[in-house]
């Protein structure tokens, strides 16, 4: 197996006396789609927040291509190639849809104060590229975010489109790895299926590596190369969907100890 | 009826307040139109008039808007006005019975002049009855205005306020007309100083005519818009008419100081200094969303560093008159240095407050702003900046022999810098940098996660804001030629913030409007100097209540003020999320971000 793209190595994160993550380790290989599942409070979103630099881990290390990224600010980690979405959608609500995506390109562009004031040809070209990239990323979702919608403020979008825009904005950061935090929450069954295809396309067409937190088992089943199951900040199972879904501990974590009637 | 009486009583109390602060007694001789319409009289009828208008606000019952009938409106107005009149008349009777001099011992402005104006030598009860009658009529008028048909109401309203505005501008328009050698006695009387009656009627007629014309054009335009395909992108286009208007506007701007004379040119100069400060602060507060209450820091820094660089001397009567620092730079060489110093200082000030937000940031910047005022008066820096005495002999920024100290000349210098600052600010706002600032303002943590370095962009906002503010300070120094610490107080910070907020946070036209209103009006209405802060406060309260997004709002920022609507929306989304998940597996996670 080639060296993993992302390695989470023995990460512990405590909030006061509570261990949100407890010696958690897993890795994601290049081009893999890995799902993290687990009941409420299992520490799934905390993993994302530690990886993207929002919280520093108390112990352990996070490595991207073998390089530790612990201690880097979130914007550096984004520049290093990890993009993310949030569990509760966090857009820039008063910026237009296109502008939201254009912000994603920020770390890939470099126009400075004087260039921006003088609007030099180089800055103009860069701005055109930013715009084009942003439009491409919006176009990843077909017509959903295209056309007149591009000029609408983000808050005017439907819930599902907000989730899509958040993903488009993350795509616009030109990442190597995408972290999706419950991408299908709030979507109807049809939209959920559509999104499942999008996740697969991210890997197949954009050659991204995807780490996804998901509750909808149809999605987890449909996209995952591997599944990591967590409970109380610990990894309780890892493997293919079938392996994890039939794991005693996982079933116990979700449904409780007794499971006679459920077979 | 109880509501009307209550509104009327409030109006009565407001009138008493106006009388007690002197807005009636001090202005019995400020004639607006003829000798009959005075400012004092206006203050007397305005509260019941507004009360009558407010009392007839359409009610909403069971989702239907119910407007009062004319008869009912007149009745409501009369009751409201009468109760306002009764409250105020009771006050007048009380003062008369108790004795003016005894009341005056506490309320300085309740003076014999005021009582003469209100009583006119009549017995007090008769005068009180007349006051109640005036108030009743005003209230009825205010209420009747509400129920007039639109076609009549708008021209009438426009005519009244434009005529009154002309009356107020009696120190400006006549001077301008004199400068242009236009006969003006028909419009403004030399005796009363206000508008003459024929003049007032002509002005009112013109204003009403313009209003009618605008109404018609508006209707025509709406028709045209509904026909035209909407594909041609938004924004104003350069049609011949627009181009002509632009040219006329520019011409007015260029000849303005020669038309309006020195006094008003001086006010225009002050407006532009404050506009520069407003443009600078707008970058910090409006674009980056960092509340800075210590902006006077950069104003002071700019003024003093320009003075020092250009060879100003200490303001002492004894001792040498040699420049403190013998650099003696030319103004145009010194300005870039001042800007660089200020930008650097912006980074220095910004660095310690990077982690702070909102009210904490405001408090810390307030403290930092106070520091520089303490510094310039401190004995420690006296050898450098002259302490309380300050500095003099500041450059007049001359090009050749053409100095800019003269208010008419200063106007052009200030105008050039305001135009430059507007350009810089506008370009920055519409660039990758402006986008980063907006993202930062909307959600700092998410902006960080999307690759925007929050540290760099906050510091950049402080640096750019500081740089533009320092130019304001430098121009201020050129304008008055000498500096004393008295000009550099926290009031400057508050005033500039007021300009930015009143005009519309994040909006450049707003900054200009804000400085015209908050600096221009007090500067032009010198009679009201004592009441400047009162009017200032009243204007801010009124704008914040009636137009919280500012006078000329930035679209995006005004939306941010309606955040709660969206929260509602989001909440609806969350419900949907809850309903959708499979039973037993809830999406409520650990609250990311």
Residue A227 pLDDT: 95
Partner residue facing A185 (CB), from B428, B569, B577: B577
Is A91 among the domain residues? no
Please give the Cα distance from A171 to B437 (Å, whole number): 21
Q: Which residue of B has its CA nearest to A148?
A: B231
Residue A114 pLDDT: 94
Burial label, B527 (beta-carbon count in 10 A; 0-12, 13-18, 19+): middle
- Select the residue from A16, A103, A128, A176 to test the B interface by mutation, using most B Cβ atoms within 10 A: A103
Q: Final residue of a domain: which of A173, A189, A219?
A: A173
Contact (Cβ atoms closer than 8 angstroms) between residue B393 and residue B312 = yes
| CB pair distance less than 8 Å for B591 and A126 | no
Please give the Cα distance from B292 to B346 (Å, whole number): 11
Is A87 among the domain residues? no
Residue B585 pLDDT: 38
Is A88 among the domain residues? no
Partner residue facing A95 (CB), from B427, B438, B464: B438
Higher pLDDT, B345 or B386: B345
| CB pair distance less than 8 Å for B438 and A92 | yes
Q: Final residue of a domain: which of A173, A192, A207?
A: A173
Q: Does B559 touch chain A (CB under 8 A)?
A: yes
A256, A188: one domain:
yes
Tell me what the pLDDT averaged over chain B comes to: 86
What is the mean pLDDT of the segment spanning B84-110?
Answer: 92
- Select the residue from A80, A113, A193 to test the B interface by mutation, using most B Cβ atoms within 10 A: A113
Residue A93 pLDDT: 92
Q: Does B585 touch chain A (CB under 8 A)?
A: yes
Q: Does B119 touch chain A (CB under 8 A)?
A: no
| CB pair distance less than 8 Å for B560 and A104 | no
Partner residue facing A182 (CB), from B431, B576, B589: B589
Number of residues that make up chain A? 263
**Is it the case that residue B9 has pLDDT exceeding 90?**
yes
Nearest CA-CA distance, residue A141 and chain B, Å: 19
**Is it the case that residue A36 has pLDDT exceeding 90?**
yes
Please report, rounded to a whole number, the percentage of residues in chain A having pLDDT higher than 90: 78
Measured between beta carbons, which residues in chain B are less than 8 angstroms from residue A104? 450-451
Q: Does A230 touch chain B (CB under 8 A)?
A: no
Which residues fall within 8 angstroms of residue B565, CB to CB, at 6 or more apart? none
Which residues fall within 8 angstroms of residue B343, CB to CB, at 6 or more apart? B463, B464, B466, B467
Q: Does B581 touch chain A (CB under 8 A)?
A: yes
Residue A219 pLDDT: 93
Residue B232 pLDDT: 43
Residue B518 pLDDT: 87
A167, A201: one domain:
no
pLDDT band at B572 (very low <50, low <70, confident <90, very high): very low
Nearest CA-CA distance, residue B444 and chain A, Å: 10
Partner residue facing A117 (CB), from B424, B587, B591: B424
**Is it the case that residue B578 has pLDDT exceeding 50?**
no
Residue B317 pLDDT: 64
Q: Does B448 touch chain A (CB under 8 A)?
A: yes
Which pLDDT tens digit goes with each residue over A104-144? Answer: 999 999 999 999 999 999 999 999 999 999 999 999 998 88
Q: Does B428 touch chain A (CB under 8 A)?
A: yes
**Contact map slice: A 8-67 vs B, CB within 8 A:** 20, 39-41, 43-46, 48-49, 52, 54
| CB pair distance less than 8 Å for A116 and B591 | no
Contact (Cβ atoms closer than 8 angstroms) between residue B299 and residue B278 = no
Tell me what the pLDDT averaged over chain A comes to: 91
- Tell me the HSE value of B198 on the side-chain side, using a 13 A CA sphere: 5
- Sign (positive or negative) of CA dihedral A56, A60, A62, A63: positive
Contact (Cβ atoms closer than 8 angstroms) between residue B95 and residue B110 = yes
Burial label, B236 (beta-carbon count in 10 A; 0-12, 13-18, 19+): exposed
Nearest CA-CA distance, residue B585 and chain A, Å: 7
What is the mean pLDDT of the segment spanning A83-111?
Answer: 94
Nearest CA-CA distance, residue B499 and chain A, Å: 23
Partner residue facing B451 (CB), from A20, A173, A213: A173
Nearest CA-CA distance, residue A164 and chain B, Å: 14
Q: Does B71 touch chain A (CB under 8 A)?
A: no
- Local structure of A59: helix, strand or coil: strand
Residue B583 pLDDT: 39
Please report, rounded to a whole number, the percentage of residues in chain B having pLDDT higher than 90: 48
pLDDT band at B534 (very low <50, low <70, confident <90, very high): confident
A179, A258: one domain:
yes
A147, A64: one domain:
no
A193, A71: one domain:
yes
Give the domain range for residue A179.
1-81+175-263
Which pLDDT tens digit goes with each residue over B467-504? Answer: 999 999 999 999 999 899 999 999 899 999 999 998 98
**Is it the case that residue B149 has pLDDT exceeding 90?**
no
Query: Of A33-47, B60-74, B164-178, B313-327, which range is least confident?
Result: B313-327
What is the mean pLDDT of the segment spanning A61-85?
Answer: 95
| CB pair distance less than 8 Å for B439 and A95 | yes
Please give the Cα distance from A247 to A243 (Å, whole number): 6
Q: Does A86 touch chain B (CB under 8 A)?
A: yes
Residue B574 pLDDT: 45
Higher pLDDT, A103 or A42: A103
A101, A229: one domain:
no
What is the mean pLDDT of the segment spanning B208-217?
Answer: 87
Partner residue facing A92 (CB), from B439, B454, B591: B439
Pairing of strands B37-38, A226-231: unpaired
**Contact map slice: A 186-205 vs B, CB within 8 A:** 186-188
pLDDT band at B562 (very low <50, low <70, confident <90, very high): low
**Is it the case that residue A189 has pLDDT exceeding 60?**
yes
Query: Of A52-61, A92-101, B231-240, which range is least confident?
Result: B231-240
Burial label, B159 (beta-carbon count in 10 A; 0-12, 13-18, 19+): buried
| CB pair distance less than 8 Å for A127 and B451 | no
A66, A131: one domain:
no
What is the mean pLDDT of the segment spanning A147-175?
Answer: 93
Contact (Cβ atoms closer than 8 angstroms) between residue A80 and residue A18 = no
| CB pair distance less than 8 Å for B590 and A45 | yes
Contact (Cβ atoms closer than 8 angstroms) between residue B55 and residue B146 = no
- Residue located via tokens 């008493």: B16
- Select the residue from B449, B453, B554 to test the A interface by mutation, using most A Cβ atoms within 10 A: B449
**Is it the case that residue B55 has pLDDT exceeding 80?**
yes
Residue B452 pLDDT: 95
Partner residue facing B577 (CB), from A116, A117, A186: A186
How many residue pairs from chains A and B have C-beta atoms closer than 8 A? 168
A63, A184: one domain:
yes
Helix B490-503, helix B358-377: angle, nearest 10: 140
Please give the Cα distance from A121 to B383 (Å, whole number): 49
Residue B206 pLDDT: 93
Return the CATH number at A263.
3.40.50.300
Residue B554 pLDDT: 81
Question: What residue spans define the domains of chain B?
Answer: 1-147, 154-225, 258-565
Residue B438 pLDDT: 95
Q: Final residue of a domain: which of A173, A191, A213?
A: A173
**Is it the case that residue B310 has pLDDT exceeding 70?**
yes
Q: Does B491 touch chain A (CB under 8 A)?
A: no
Domain count of the fold of chain A = 2
H or E element in which residue B64 lies: strand B64-66
| CB pair distance less than 8 Å for B450 and A75 | yes
**Contact map slice: B 459-488 vs A, CB within 8 A:** 460, 464
Assess: ipTM above 0.95.
Answer: no
Measured between beta carbons, which residues in chain B are less than 8 angstroms from residue A169? 450
Please give the Cα distance from A166 to B409 (Å, whole number): 54
Partner residue facing A79 (CB), from B439, B451, B592: B451
Please report, rounded to a whole number, the percentage of residues in chain B having pLDDT higher than 70: 90
Measured torsion, CA atoms of residues B131, B132, B137, B141, in degrees rounded to the nearest 10: 100
């Amino acid at each position: 197996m080639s060296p993993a793209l992302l390695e989470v190595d023995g990460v512990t994160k405590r909030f006061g006396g509570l261990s949100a993550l407890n010696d958690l380790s897993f890795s994601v290989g290049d081009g893999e789609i890995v799902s993290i599942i687990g009941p409420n409070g299992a520490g799934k979103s905390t993993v994302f927040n530690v990886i993207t630099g929002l919280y520093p881990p108390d112990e352990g290390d996070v490595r991207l291509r073998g390089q530790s990224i612990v201690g880097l600010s979130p914007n550096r980690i984004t520049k290093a190639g990890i993009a993310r979405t949030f569990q509760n959608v966090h857009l820039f609500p008063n910026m237009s849809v296109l502008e939201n995506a254009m912000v994603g390109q920020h770390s890939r562009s470099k126009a400075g104060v004087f260039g921006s004031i003088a609007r030099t040809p180089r800055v103009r070209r860069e701005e055109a590229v930013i715009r084009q990239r942003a439009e491409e990323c919006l176009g990843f979702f077909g017509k959903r975010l295209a056309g007149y919608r591009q000029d609408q403020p983000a808050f005017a979008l439907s819930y599902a489109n907000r989730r899509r825009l958040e993903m488009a904005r993350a795509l616009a950061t030109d990442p190597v790895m995408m972290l999706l935090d419950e991408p299908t929450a709030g979507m109807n069954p049809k939209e959920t299926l559509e999104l499942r295809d999008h996740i697969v396309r991210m890997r197949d067409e954009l050659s991204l590596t995807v780490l996804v937190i998901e509750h909808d088992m149809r999605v987890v089943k449909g996209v995952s190369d591997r599944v990591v199951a967590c409970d109380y900040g610990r990894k309780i199972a890892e493997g293919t969907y079938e392996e994890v879904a039939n794991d005693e501990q996982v079933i116990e974590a979700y449904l409780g100890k007794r499971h006679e009637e459920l077979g | 009826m109880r509501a009307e009486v209550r509104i009327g009583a409030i109006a009565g109390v407001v009138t008493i307040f106006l009388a007690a602060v002197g807005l009636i007694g001090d202005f019995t001789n400020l004639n607006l139109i003829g000798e009959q319409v005075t400012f004092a009289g206006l203050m007397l009828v305005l509260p019941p008039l507004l009360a009558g208008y407010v009392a007839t606000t359409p009610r909403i019952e069971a989702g239907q808007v119910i407007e009062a009938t004319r008869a009912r409106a007149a009745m409501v107005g009369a009751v409201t006005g009468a109760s306002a009149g009764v409250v105020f008349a009771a006050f007048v009777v009380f003062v008369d019975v108790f004795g003016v001099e005894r009341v005056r011992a506490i309320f300085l402005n309740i003076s014999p002049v005021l009582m003469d104006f209100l009583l006119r030598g009549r017995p007090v009860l008769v005068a009180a009855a007349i006051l109640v009658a005036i108030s009743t009529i005003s209230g009825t008028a205010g209420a009747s205005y509400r129920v007039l048909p639109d076609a009549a109401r708008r021209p009438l309203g426009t005519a009244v306020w434009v005529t009154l505005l002309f009356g107020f501008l009696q120190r400006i328009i006549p001077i301008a007309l004199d400068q242009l050698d236009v006969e003006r006695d028909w419009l403004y009387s030399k005796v009363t100083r206000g508008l003459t009656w024929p003049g007032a009627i002509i002005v009112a007629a013109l204003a009403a005519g313009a209003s009618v014309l605008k109404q018609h054009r508006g209707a025509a335009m709406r028709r045209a818009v509904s026909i035209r395909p909407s594909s041609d992108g938004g924004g104003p286009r350069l049609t011949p008419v627009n181009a002509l208007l632009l040219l006329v506007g520019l011409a007015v701007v260029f000849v303005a100081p020669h038309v309006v004379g020195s006094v008003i040119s001086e006010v225009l100069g002050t407006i532009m200094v404050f506009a520069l400060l407003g443009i600078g602060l707008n970058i910090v507060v409006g674009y980056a969303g960092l509340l800075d209450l210590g902006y006077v820091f950069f104003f002071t820094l700019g003024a003093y560093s320009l003075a020092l660089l250009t060879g100003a001397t200490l303001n002492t009567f004894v001792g040498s008159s040699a420049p403190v620092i013998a650099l003696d730079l030319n103004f145009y060489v010194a300005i870039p240095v001042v800007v660089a110093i200020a930008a650097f200082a912006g980074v220095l000030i910004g660095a310690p407050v990077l982690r702070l937000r909102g009210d904490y940031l405001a408090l810390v910047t307030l403290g930092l702003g106070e520091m520089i005022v303490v510094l310039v008066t401190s004995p420690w820096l006296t050898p450098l900046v002259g302490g309380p005495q300050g500095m003099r002999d500041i450059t007049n920024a001359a090009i050749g022999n053409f100095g800019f100290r003269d208010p008419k000349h200063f106007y052009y210098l200030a105008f050039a810098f305001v135009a430059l600052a507007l350009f810089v600010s506008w370009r920055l706002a519409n660039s990758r940098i402006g986008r980063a600032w907006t993202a930062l303002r909307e959600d700092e943590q998410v902006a960080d996660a999307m690759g925007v370095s929050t540290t760099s962009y906050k510091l950049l906002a402080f640096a750019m804001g500081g740089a533009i503010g320092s130019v304001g300070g430098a121009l201020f120094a050129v304008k008055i030629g000498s500096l004393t610490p008295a000009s550099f107080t926290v009031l400057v910070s508050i005033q500039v913030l007021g300009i930015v907020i009143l005009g519309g946070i994040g909006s450049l036209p707003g900054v200009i409007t804000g400085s015209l209103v908050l600096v221009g009006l007090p500067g032009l209405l010198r009679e009201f100097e004592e009441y400047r802060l009162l009017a200032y406060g009243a204007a801010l309260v009124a704008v914040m209540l009636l137009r919280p997004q500012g006078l000329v709002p930035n679209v995006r920022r005004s939306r941010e003020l309606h955040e709660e609507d969206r929260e509602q929306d989001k909440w609806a989304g969350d419900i949907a999320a809850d309903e959708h998940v499979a039973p037993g597996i809830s999406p409520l996670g650990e609250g990311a971000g």
